[in-house]
């Protein structure tokens, strides 16, 4: 569960690296440090034009990438986390949620929406890493479940974009059971023969990988994403050795047969659309 | 072996031992003393075991003399035939399964298996299945479905195995597949946490019509030690983490995340294995009776409905 450290840094593209200049907003690539005007970055689908680094983006940007003219209807936008266990560690869960809502402008770690993509109606559930590491608590599980129900009832293809460190510890077993819940909903969608495409982005680990992220009719990964069940640190500690280069990368998963294809973000919309056209008649 | 919190019992046990010795030597009549000590031990046990903390139950759930999956299965179903392998990579020794019958009714038994000494523990990979373990479990579940036999899973794992090979062979995918398939399996599924129920590794055989926990077990998304190390950045807060995670059978039942609790002999299942086995057997028969006449549709719908209702969210309808 590596999210804990990363969340305190926030999404790199959002806070540290974004600068306002007289010409507008600029973003600095965390990998090659190239500075790109924000407007240009939107056109390149938030991929660095110099080094192909896929910026860590959230639901707002993915909706922009996938929905025609960025038009969509958000589903269940008013769900927020309860605190079923009254969880307190060094901070109370309640205060973590309140802080995250303030800091990220989001209500939880997932947004769901229906809209047209290349003219075809689809439902998208997209995780937001910027909200407590994209961790899955009851809200994430419930929103994804309801989105799958919506896709099934209205017979729209379902897309889930994963970006998460895994379970939300502060909801303990409630969080765990979201894995069973979302997987059960996908089983029902599967019975109706409605396509489900899982998009795995950096990072997709833990309980997310052990539930909906690996259950796509098609599993699509963005390049060089970290995808795995156990976190790299845990594995390293267990085996007492450094991990081989590229271990748990998208390319590693493709090689071992767990993702169907790796798609550059600039082609994501087209590729999804093409895949759907092969298997789905609206 | 005594746990720290069992110290008062240990001291009384030792006094009792001495009193008995003196009595047996025949010089002094110690019967009054012995009787009062026996009574005191009983009271102390009730006092201690009646007020166990989360962390104390975690300790009992890991007791090395605690019955493991095969101990229960062989005792409940003496005709048990173990079957092996995922028909793909290998036979995972941390996940066992096979057909066996309880009072004439055949069940498919599946469970995580731990070992009792160093050699056995390694052989069983400490009860941590690899992907092939979950795929073996699914193969056996499909077999049960094909022949219309109910399934009993016995959960006892510190987690799915974290390692290079587990990742190479798709640990996440293997567990995910089980969650999806178990949700729509056409035969009754009874799941019982008999020891440790750690995270996705436990849930991978844990999607059932009835999910039960034995009294001194735990079930959560993470172990208290790991939770402590992540949230407090040190292992020292495991007791606090165990409380915060609400991982005991009582808490899980209260939160509507399991369907029932199987009580254990005073002091834990390891103190009277025969009694523990008989409680589990009785519970399986009772639960199966409740499930066996349901139609397949009802069974699946109710199973999915149950898991769908798990979770607590605030829904502010007044807001746009
Ligand atoms: Zn770059």
* pLDDT interval class at B28 (50, 70, 90): confident
* pLDDT interval class at B319 (50, 70, 90): very low
* pLDDT interval class at B107 (50, 70, 90): very high
pLDDT above 80 for B249: yes
Q: Tell me the C-alpha distance between A3 and B230, whole Å.
A: 10
The reported pLDDT for the residue numbered A8 is 31
Other beta carbons within 10 Å of B82: 13
Q: Tell me the C-alpha distance between B222 and B230, whole Å.
A: 10
The reported pLDDT for the residue numbered A19 is 61
The reported pLDDT for the residue numbered A20 is 58
pLDDT digits (tens, 9 = 90+) for B265-301: 999 999 999 999 999 999 999 999 999 999 999 999 9
In 3D space, the residue among A207, A208, A202, A205 whose CA is nearest the CA of residue A221 turns out to be A202
% of chain B beyond a pLDDT of 70: 99
Q: Are B191 and B210 in contact (CB under 8 A)?
A: yes
Where are the strands (E) in A5-58, listed by range? 18-21, 24-28, 35-37
Long-range Cβ contacts of B234-239 (<8 Å, 24+ apart)? B237/A89, B238/B55, B239/B53, B239/B54, B239/B55
The reported pLDDT for the residue numbered A9 is 33
The reported pLDDT for the residue numbered B26 is 80
Show me where the domains of chain A are located. Answer: 57-279
In 3D space, the residue among B1, B3, B10 whose CA is nearest the CA of residue B41 turns out to be B10
Q: Are B106 and B143 in contact (CB under 8 A)?
A: no
Q: Please state whether beta strands A79-81 and A73-75 pair in parallel, antiparallel, or not at all (unpaired).
A: unpaired
pLDDT above 70 for B258: yes
Residue A151 CB-half CA count within 13 A: 35
pLDDT digits (tens, 9 = 90+) for B121-180: 999 999 999 999 999 999 999 999 999 999 999 999 999 999 999 999 999 999 999 999
Q: Tell me the C-alpha distance between A107 and A131, whole Å.
A: 8
Kindly determine whether residue B312 and residue A89, on different chains, have CB atoms separated by under 8 Å: no
End-to-end CA distance of chain A: 40
Chain B partners within 8 Å of A183 (Cβ): 176, 179-180, 183, 207
Higher pLDDT, B59 or B320: B59
Q: What angle do CA B211, A145, A137 make, to 5 degrees?
A: 70
Q: Is the ipTM of this complex over 0.90?
A: yes
Backbone angles phi, psi at B260, to 5 degrees: 180, 170
Chain A partners within 8 Å of B171 (Cβ): 210, 229-230
pTM of model > 0.90: yes
Mapped onto helix, strand or coil, the DSSP state of residue B53 is: coil
* CATH number corresponding to B58-307: 3.90.226.10
Ion ligand 1 — residues with CB < 5 Å: A 29, 31-32, 34, 48, 50-51, 53
End-to-end CA distance of chain B: 61
In 3D space, the residue among A241, A242, A259 whose CA is nearest the CA of residue A251 turns out to be A259
The reported pLDDT for the residue numbered A256 is 98
The continuous run of DSSP H or E covering A252 comes out as helix A250-256
Residues of chain A with pLDDT below 70 are: 1-23
Kindly determine whether residue B206 and residue A180, on different chains, have CB atoms separated by under 8 Å: yes
Chain B partners within 8 Å of A234 (Cβ): 162
Kindly determine whether residue B170 and residue A230, on different chains, have CB atoms separated by under 8 Å: no
Mapped onto helix, strand or coil, the DSSP state of residue B277 is: helix
* CATH number corresponding to A57-279: 3.90.226.10
Partner-chain residue, chosen from B181, B308, B312, that has the shortest CB–CB distance to A82: B312
Q: Tell me the C-alpha distance between B213 and B155, whole Å.
A: 9
Q: Tell me the C-alpha distance between A215 and A22, whole Å.
A: 46
């Amino acid at each position: 569960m590596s999210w804990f450290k990363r969340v305190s840094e926030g999404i790199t593209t959002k806070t540290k690296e974004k600068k306002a200049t007289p010409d507008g907003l600029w973003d600095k690539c965390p990998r090659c440090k190239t500075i790109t005007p924000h407007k240009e970055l939107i056109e390149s689908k938030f991929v660095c034009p110099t080094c192909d680094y896929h910026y860590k983006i959230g639901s707002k940007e993915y909706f922009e990438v996938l929905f025609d003219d960025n038009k969509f209807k958000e589903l269940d936008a008013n769900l927020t986390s309860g605190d079923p266990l009254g969880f307190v560690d060094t901070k109370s869960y309640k205060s973590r949620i309140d802080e995250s809502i303030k800091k990220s402008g989001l209500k939880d770690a997932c947004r769901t929406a229906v809209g047209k993509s290349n003219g075809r109606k689809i439902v998208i559930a997209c995780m937001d890493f910027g909200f407590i590491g994209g961790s899955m608590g009851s809200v994430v599980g419930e929103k994804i479940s309801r989105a799958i129900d919506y896709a099934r009832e209205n017979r729209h293809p379902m897309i889930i974009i994963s970006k998460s460190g895994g379970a939300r510890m502060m909801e303990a077993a409630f969080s765990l059971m979201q894995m069973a819940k979302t997987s059960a909903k996908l089983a029902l969608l599967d019975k109706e023969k409605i396509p489900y495409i899982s998009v795995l982005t950096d990072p997709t680990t833990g309980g997310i990988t052990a539930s909906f992220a690996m259950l796509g009719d098609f599993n699509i990964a963005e390049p060089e994403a970290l995808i795995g069940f156990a976190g790299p640190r845990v594995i390293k500690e267990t085996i007492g050795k450094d991990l081989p280069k590229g271990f748990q990368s998208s390319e590693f998963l493709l090689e071992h047969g767990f993702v169907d294809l790796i798609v550059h973000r600039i082609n994501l919309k087209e590729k999804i659309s093409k895949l759907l056209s092969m298997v789905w008649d609206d | 072996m005594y746990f720290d919190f069992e110290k008062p019992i240990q001291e009384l046990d030792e006094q009792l031992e001495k009193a008995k010795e003196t009595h047996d030597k025949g010089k002094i009549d110690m019967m009054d003393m012995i009787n009062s000590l026996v009574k005191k031990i009983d009271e102390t046990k009730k006092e201690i075991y009646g007020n166990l903390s989360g962390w104390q139950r975690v300790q009992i759930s890991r007791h090395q003399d605690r019955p493991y999956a095969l101990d229960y299965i062989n005792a409940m179903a003496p005709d048990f035939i173990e079957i092996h392998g995922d028909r793909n990579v290998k036979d995972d020794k941390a996940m066992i399964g096979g057909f066996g019958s309880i009072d004439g009714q055949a069940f498919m038994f599946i469970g995580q298996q731990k070992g009792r000494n160093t050699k056995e523990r390694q052989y069983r990979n400490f009860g941590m299945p690899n992907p092939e373990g979950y795929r073996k479990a699914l193969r056996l579940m499909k077999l049960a479905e094909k022949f219309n036999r109910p399934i009993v899973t016995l959960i006892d794992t510190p987690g799915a195995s974290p390692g290079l090979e587990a990742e190479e062979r798709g640990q996440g995918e293997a567990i995910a597949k089980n969650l999806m398939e178990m949700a729509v399996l056409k035969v009754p599924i009874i799941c019982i946490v008999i020891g440790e129920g750690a995270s996705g590794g436990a849930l991978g055989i844990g999607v059932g019509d009835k999910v039960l926990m034995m009294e001194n077990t735990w079930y959560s998304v993470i172990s208290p030690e790991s939770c402590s190390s992540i949230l407090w950045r040190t292992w020292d807060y495991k007791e606090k983490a165990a409380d915060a995670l609400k991982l005991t059978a009582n808490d899980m039942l209260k939160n509507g995340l399991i369907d029932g609790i199987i009580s254990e002999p005073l002091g834990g299942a390891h103190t009277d294995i025969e009694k523990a086995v008989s409680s589990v057997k009785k519970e399986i028969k009772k639960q199966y009776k409740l499930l066996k006449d349901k139609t397949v549709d009802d069974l699946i719908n109710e199973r999915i409905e149950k898991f769908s209702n798990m979770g607590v969210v605030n829904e502010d309808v007044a807001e746009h």
